[in-house]
Structure 1
Amino acid sequence: MPCFILLPPWIESKQVGSINNMILLSSATSIASINSSCNKCICMMILTDNIVGITCLQNQTCLLFSNYSLSYTINNSLNGSFHFLIIPPEQQFSTVKTTVSCTPNCMNNGTCLFSNVCLCTSEWNGTYCEIPICSPPCENFGNCTSPGVCTCYYGWTGSYCQIVQTILWTFDNTLNDLSGQFIGVGYNSPTYTAGINGYGSALALNGIHNQCVIVYPYLNMSYMSFTWEFWIYPTIALPNDTTFISQCFNVSKDQCLLFMIRYDKILFSFWYDDVSGLTVIPVNKWSHMTLIYDLITNKKFIYLNGILEHAQHSNGSLSADFVNLTIGCRKMGKGATYDKFFTGYIDQMLYNSRVKNASEILNDATLVTYHRFLSNASLMDSGPNYINGSWGGGAVSIPSGIVNQAIDFPTNGSYFQLSELVLLGTSNWPLSLSLWFKINSLTETSSIAYLSDAIQCMKMITLLYNGTIQIQIFNGNKNNIIFGPVIHIGTWNHIIYTFSTVNGMRLYVNGSLYRSVITTYSTNDSPVTLTFGNSLFNTTCGYLNQQFYGSIDEVRLYSRELNATDIIQLYTNP
């Protein structure tokens, strides 16, 4: 029944209806909650224009309902009562003018109900309506930065950060991914060894001891496109079905993901839905694997060292629900035991929830390092491996490079250095070194690029006293040498040094092939250091301090031989 409240004659008459053992619920997300007695809440409702009803709970808390909500529901409850305002048909007295204030002011169209209590719209929350609301809420450490907008953490995407975008396991003395959200748990104590990028470590697995890694939580790849990339280094001849990565819900078609070796070649399987590579995977050598599933075209792709091996239509997409990923072994369904263990090293394992294109894959597999010498990141690697450099002796970043900034060697002893380069120190591994340089002064022979390890060293690119370019390579018995053109002081020039067992050593100058020589490439098969600008008094090889006085820019080192199209592109678009 309605109840009546007596008001002084100068206040308009208002009626309050009450229903006991009932509570009002709303679909709105910003109902104000007040810790106060029911009587005080009723007074607030009467004296405030935008409160149309309240629910009084037995714990001396009131819920205030405004006219912003679109729908209300009355439910039975023994813990509360519902009170609502009945507007009389005629108003005979003037309205009371009440003044309330909130400090600071209510934000984002919020209403100040009484002192420092704001009633927010459905899109905002917080004491002063300063916190945006995202519905559904942002997941995976995403931040709600404005109503309905989530800013996602590294590796995640989607309207509420629910889709994994990028996951990287570097295996730098940890089994967890780079973001710390996908946790690797070692099975039978896997260890670490030197990695592909020289400065970090790789995962070392011994299949004889049944070592592998189980990843938590579940990574959802079902009914999605994806790209997996990783480096492997088998240390033994691998038996059939040796597994690199698996996610098996059941041993049924399209319910089990497997990346493994079969007949010495890579196999990409959804279980009875397979595609196989064409090349035998070598032992005791690093190989870069890329495996792609494209949901749109329903095709699987296998790349080896950046080159497409095989593409084939799939019978269907993956459907491996709620089962953990394994690295270096497989588990065939729930309750099964682990088997098909890998023996060797795995490094830089990268997952993307999209299809990478051929150019991206080739760069990921073969662009060892790329240095732009920008003023705010002079030593940082802009390539996929984060092989940052070091410098000394007065080397500095200057504003006048071929593109943006460059590195300059103004004083005797100045240099830039890249250390622990694994593939460059591997015999007969193809390579390309591309750079721009400008001579500031020239009085004697100077070193532009110099290769060394603890035993062996080689002047890769040298500038002779008269400005002639010279490149060389060691074949195990002697240095094979190519003499290039004379380079003049004060102009930028582009040079590319390439090697492959097919074409030998080649010198390209300003986009054109200058000369080549058939040769092999012999090293100690250990990581090497590449130094620019100076040979740094290498007494092991009897070289003096051959300082280059000039600037270098846009240094790119590849673990493949660049072709003519690549070289023209680098020259015309540095």
Structure 2
Amino acid sequence: MIVGKSEWFTEQELEPNKIELMEKHPNITKNMYTSMEFVIIYDVLLIKCISASGRMHIRPVLFGVVLGALVVGIALAAVLTMYIKDRSNQDSDIIANTTTSTATTSTTTTTTTTTTTTTTSTSTTTTTTTTTTTTTSTSTTSTTTTTSAVPLSYIFWSFDSNFDDMYNVYNGIGMNGATFVSPGYTGYGSALFLNGTNSEYVLVSNYKDMTNTSLTWETWSYPINLDNYDNLMLGMCQTTSTSMCMYLMIRQNRTYFAFFNNDCVGSTIISINRWYHFAFVYDYIALTQYIYVNGILECTHNTSSPFEATNGAITIGAINNTGLVTPVAFWTGYIDQMEYVSRAKTALEILTDATLAAYYSFDDGSYYDLGPLKINGTGVGLSSTTGYVNQSILFNVSGAYFQAGAFTSLGVSGQSYSISLWVNKALSSSGGGTLVHVSGSANGTLWCISMLGLSSSDEIIGQSWNLSMVAIQGPILQLGVWTHIVTSYSMDNGVRLWVNGTLIGSSIPFTYSASSLPDWITVGTTFSAALSCAHGNVAVGQFYGMIDELRIYSRELTSSDVYALANP
């Protein structure tokens, strides 16, 4: 007979078992401890039962052993499962940068059940059958912790007839009549138009955390009036103390990148009524501010501290200093393609953003612009074929052409430019052909010249305009062979022609007389409406062959630039 707890053992006998268990498993909770105490009590009770009587029948003992094993197994499984869960909860608070880990624990519980069946026949014989069934169940606890690298933060306002961020996170509200002008710098869509005399600006109320991080702000801006002492393109201010306000502005006709009393000042005098590309970069690791104007480094300044404002609205075209009823230092002019990224862009990236007007790889028959402005093109009568790099476009029917526009920089007098492409003229074609026709309209007219083409004897011609044609004549184009050609212009070097990475010639310095319009390029032909345009030494007409890797720049390429393009 099994008797009560007090008759078999004392609390002092149980305590060592409790202490040992709690030391081994410190995560066991109070609720779990009640079950464990029962298991300990039962084990001690069972041992005392066996020790007290050597005459105890085997069946009760066996039954006790089995039942004890069952209870212990279930209790331990519960303890282990809850222990793992507790550890899992602790692990979920640990944040890593780029790791994904999965921990899986399997707990197997074996339950043995003994069934005794007694059958009695009409005779006095009794048969007892004992059946033992073992059931194994497995429970699995999986803990998966997934953490990822902190993604780059990105904001982009195209200002194409709205104030929205491309990702609809930092959408703005036009204040006091802020509106748009068409086209924008890209030659399509629109740009933000702010009249500072009316206190117009854009309010972005959603706070953007830029504290203790690298960052880059870029924008195309066109100032109409710079009479204010400060002319804000973008601002954010928590309080007027060191490193608590950010200003991207023109101060007294110079670029200014300020964290308030922690500032970088440019050197170039900014003029009105022309487009500029401005880039403001902060390298948090180096604690350094940078200003770039049209891709050229203007200022480098080591800061005493990073930007530290933890609240405040972004204002485009003004600054709202803390405590002021309305913003101040309003911008008068256009702003387009404003972009933010939470890293410090390199000088080469900034130069590309500022001066690569378009890049058409023509891979897979695509006319998509891979440059920053996304001036996508169209094609008529073209097909895709093997190129010098991947695929090219094939001109093999009369009237075939590629066209893209509009390019603001090509329409600016005195503005440097470069055009780069690979050409492979068909063996069966006759002499001459238009490679690149530039015009003030999509039909090839208004202001219009053949900027790059072939003479009647297939000599390569690069040309520009200064109230008359200024041309450089190069070698005869080899038929059926890929040839790399660059024509460029700058006020210092005039028009230049490069073939396969080699400078063929330069003109005398002159000022490029442009259309004052966003220009279009037509590749491979000259439209009938444009036959009266200025063609110089180019024998205009249909080009037959292949063209690949077309790039348009708003700067003069250097010899190393040209060499790299000629040797991809």
Paired letter, 2:143: S
* AA at the equivalent of 2:432: T
CA spacing shift, 1:317–1:418, aligned 2, 3 Å: same
Residue 319 of structure 1, CA deviation: 0.8
Aligned partners of 1:503 and 1:474: how far apart in 2? 14
Determine if contact 1:51/1:67 at 8 Å carries over to the other structure. no
**Aligned 1:366-377 pairs, distance under 5 A:** 366-375=355-364
**For the residues of structure 2 that align with 1:355 and 1:433, how far apart are their CA atoms?**
29
How far residue 530 of structure 1 moved from its aligned partner, in angstroms, is: 0.3
Superimposed CA distance per residue, residues 287-312 of structure 1 (whole angstroms, 9 cap, x where no aligned partner): 00011111111111111000001101
Is 1:446–2:433 an aligned residue pair? yes
Instruction: Please tell me the residue identity of whatever aligns with 1:379.
Output: Y
Q: Does 2:434 align with 1:434?
A: no
Structure 1 residue aligned with 2:453: 462
Mapping for residues 312-327 of structure 1, pairs under 5 Å: 312-327=301-316
Q: 1:69: which partner in 2?
A: 85
User: Is 1:470–1:483's contact at 8 Å kept on the other side of the alignment?
Assistant: yes
Matched, 1:570 2:565: yes
Shift of 1:572: 1.7
Which of 498, 503, 512 pairs up with 2:502? 512
Report the alpha carbon displacement of residue 97 of structure 1 after superposing the two structures with TM. 4.6
Q: Which of 189, 194, 218 does residue 205 from structure 1 map onto? A: 194
| Alpha-carbon spacing, 1:417–1:50, altered in 2? closer, same or farther (3 Å) | farther
Residue 501 of structure 1: how far off its partner (Å) = 1.0
Deviation at 1:235, TM superposition (A): 1.2
- After the TM superposition, which residues 78-157 of structure 1 pair with which residues of structure 2 at under 5 Å, given as runs? 97=135, 121-123=142-144, 147-150=145-148
Provide, for residues 77-133 of structure 1, a one-character-per-residue CA deviation record: whole Å limited to 9, x for no partner. xxxxxxxxxx9x99877667599xxxxxxxxxx95xxxxxxx86333xxxxxxxxxx
Q: 1:49 offset after TM fit, Å?
A: 5.9
Q: Cα offset for 1:382?
A: 1.1
1:173-252 counterparts in 2 under 5 A? 173-193=161-181, 194-252=183-241
The structure-2 alpha-carbon separation of the partners of 1:259 and 1:24, relative to structure 1 and needing over 3 Å to count, comes to: farther
Query: Which of 467, 470, 493 is the equivalent residue of 1:503?
Result: 493
* Superposition deviation, residue 528 in structure 1: 1.1
Q: Is the 8 A contact 1:24 1:72 kept in 2?
A: no
SS in 1 for 2:159: coil
In the TM superposition, 1:551-562 aligns within 5 A as: 551-562=546-557
Aligned-partner residue type, residue 423 of structure 2: F
Q: Which is strand-richer, 1 or 2?
A: 1
Q: Determine the C-alpha separation between the residues in 1 that align with 2:398 and 2:76.
A: 80
Task: Please tell me whether the aligned partners of residues 202 and 316 of structure 2 are also in contact (alpha carbons under 8 angstroms).
Answer: yes
In 2, Cα distance between the equivalents of 1:410 and 1:524?
31
**Structure 1 pair 369/261, CA: closer, same or farther in 2 (3 Å)?**
same
**Deviation per CA, 1:451-499, whole angstroms, max 9, x where unpaired?**
1124111011111222111122121x21112211111101111111111
1:275 offset after TM fit, Å? 1.3
Q: Tell me which protein shows more helix as a share of its residues.
A: 2
Unpaired segments ≥5 residues, structure 2: 1-28, 33-69, 90-108, 116-131
Conserved in 1, the CA contact under 8 Å of 2:448 and 2:530? no
**CA displacement at 1:517 relative to structure 2:** 1.0
The 2-side partners of 1:305 and 1:412 are apart by: 40
Unaligned stretches of 5+ in structure 1? 1-21, 26-44, 55-64, 74-86, 100-109, 112-118, 124-146, 151-156
Structure 1 residues 54-90: Cα deviation after superposition (integer angstroms, max 9, x where no partner): 9xxxxxxxxxx766423699xxxxxxxxxxxxx9x99
Q: In structure 2, what is the equivalent of residue 32 of structure 1?
A: none
1:237 CA displacement: 3.0
Q: How many residues align?
A: 456
- Pick the structure with greater CA Rg: 2
Aligned partner of 1:8 in structure 2 is none
Residue of structure 1 aligned with 2:330, choices 341, 345, 364: 341
Partner Cα distance (1:508, 1:404) in 2: 23
Query: For residues 360 and 273 of structure 2, what CA distance do their matches in structure 1 show?
Result: 29
Cα drift, residue 51 of structure 1: 10
Residues 238 and 342, structure 1, Cα contact 8 Å, conserved in 2: no
Q: What is the distance in 1 between the residues matched to 2:373 and 2:87? A: 55
Query: Per-residue deviation at 1:282?
Result: 1.4
What's the TM-score, normalizing by structure 1?
0.74
Whichever residue aligns with residue 463 of structure 2, its letter is Q
Aligned to 2:211, what secondary structure does the other structure show? coil
Identical-residue share of aligned pairs (%) = 35
- 1:489 is aligned to 2:476: no
Aligned-partner residue type, residue 510 of structure 1: N
The code of the aligned residue for 1:208 comes to: T
Which residue of structure 1 lines up, in the alignment, with residue 118 of structure 2?
none
Alignment-mate amino acid for residue 397 of structure 2 = T
The reply to whether residue 413 of structure 1 matches residue 411 of structure 2 is no
CA apart distance, 1:173: 1.6
- Quote the residue 1:531 is aligned against: 522
SS in 2 for 1:331: coil
**The residue matched to 2:300 in structure 1 has which SS?**
strand
Alignment of 1:368-387 (within 5 A): 368-375=357-364, 378-387=366-375
Cα offset for 1:368? Answer: 0.4
Please state how far the C-alpha of 1:541 moved relative to its aligned partner.
2.3
Q: Distance in 2 between matches of 1:326 and 1:95?
A: 77
C-alpha contact 2:113 2:134 (8 A) present in aligned 1: no
Which stretch of structure 1 is more off in the superposition, 170-179 or 270-279? 170-179
1:308 aligns with 2:324: no
Taking the aligned partners of 2:154 and 2:506, their CA distance within structure 1 comes to 42
CA, structure 1 residues 308+165, in 2 after alignment: closer, same or farther (shift >3 Å)? same
Q: Which amino acid aligns with 1:425?
A: G
Q: Contact 1:442–1:465 at 8 Å: present in 2 too?
A: no
* 1:388 partner amino acid: N
Q: Is this contact kept in 2: 1:249–1:334, CA < 8 A?
A: no
